[in-house]
């Protein structure tokens, strides 16, 4: 009986810590996936002479995926997934003749990934030029990756995307540190 009580007490303390660790690893993994795709899109923009787009998609795994607009289904932003394609027509939209380079399926493990532009509007598209710079950005864009509400503030990680097209993680997870 005493052993059961001790095990119950240990589990009471261990489970919340374990949940926190799982959430932290999940957010970190998704941030790294996004950074990898951002760097891939930038390098493809340089390699292909520009016109490579990374955009949020409401249905990235559809037969004909398209770029989404606004904060997406449920207002959760980029968790719906994203696509990378070569924009042959330079209109920022995925057309039938634009080659699809990479697809990221919806992310169900975290609640939100918002793309926020300097004017506080939503960012759904990053278009890279032949020099690797972003065509449609006027300042630093921020991409807060958030966990569920219980861990939202302590677990949040922010990806900062500069006008030069480089993406990095804000050291303290704070949007203000992107400036």
- Would the pTM count as exceeding 0.85? no
Split at pLDDT 50, 70, 90, the class of 78 is: confident
**Band of residue 39 on the pLDDT scale cut at 50, 70, 90:** very high
Backbone angles phi, psi at 24, to 5 degrees: -65, -45
- 157 membership: H or E segment, kind and range: strand 157-161
Question: What does the alpha-carbon distance between residue 166 and residue 69 come to, in Å, rounded to a whole number?
Answer: 22
Nearest to 169 by CA among 96, 161, 52: 161
How far apart CA 134 and CA 86 sit, in angstroms, is 14
- Contacts (Cβ under 8 Å, ≥6 apart) of 114: 71, 76, 77, 78, 122, 143, 144, 146
Q: Where are the alpha helices (DSSP H) in the chain?
A: 2-47, 152-155
Taking residue 143's Cβ as centre, other Cβ atoms within 10 Å add up to: 26
Q: Which two tokens stand for residue 160?
A: 């900062």
Share of the chain above pLDDT 70, in %: 73
Per mean pLDDT, which range of 74-83, 110-119, 156-165 is the poorest?
Answer: 110-119
Strand order in the sheet with 157-161: 112-113, 141-146, 157-161, 167-169
- Residue 136 in contact with residue 126, Cβ under 8 Å? yes
Position 122 confidence tier, pLDDT thresholds 50, 70, 90: low
CATH number of 2-178: 3.55.40.10
Predicted pLDDT at 111: 66
In tens, the pLDDT along 133-142 reads 988 777 788 8
Residue 150 — pLDDT band, cuts 50, 70, 90?
very low
- The more confidently predicted of residues 72 and 125 is 125
């Amino acid at each position: 009986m005493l052993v059961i009580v001790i095990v119950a007490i240990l589990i009471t303390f261990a489970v919340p810590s374990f949940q926190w660790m799982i959430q932290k690893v999940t957010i970190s993994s998704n941030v790294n996936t996004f950074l990898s795709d951002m760097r891939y899109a930038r390098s493809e923009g340089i390699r292909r002479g520009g016109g490579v787009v990374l955009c949020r998609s409401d249905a990235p795994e559809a037969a004909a995926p398209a770029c989404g607009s606004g904060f997406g289904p449920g207002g959760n932003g980029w968790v719906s997934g994203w696509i990378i394609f070569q924009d042959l027509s330079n209109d920022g939209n995925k057309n039938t003749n634009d080659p699809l380079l990479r697809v990221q399926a919806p992310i169900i493990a975290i609640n939100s990934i918002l793309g926020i532009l300097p004017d506080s509007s939503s960012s759904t598209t990053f278009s890279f030029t032949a020099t690797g710079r972003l065509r449609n950005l006027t300042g630093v864009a921020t991409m807060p990756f958030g966990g569920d509400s219980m861990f939202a503030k302590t677990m949040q990680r922010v990806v900062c995307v500069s006008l030069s097209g480089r993406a990095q993680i804000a050291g303290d997870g704070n949007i203000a540190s992107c400036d």
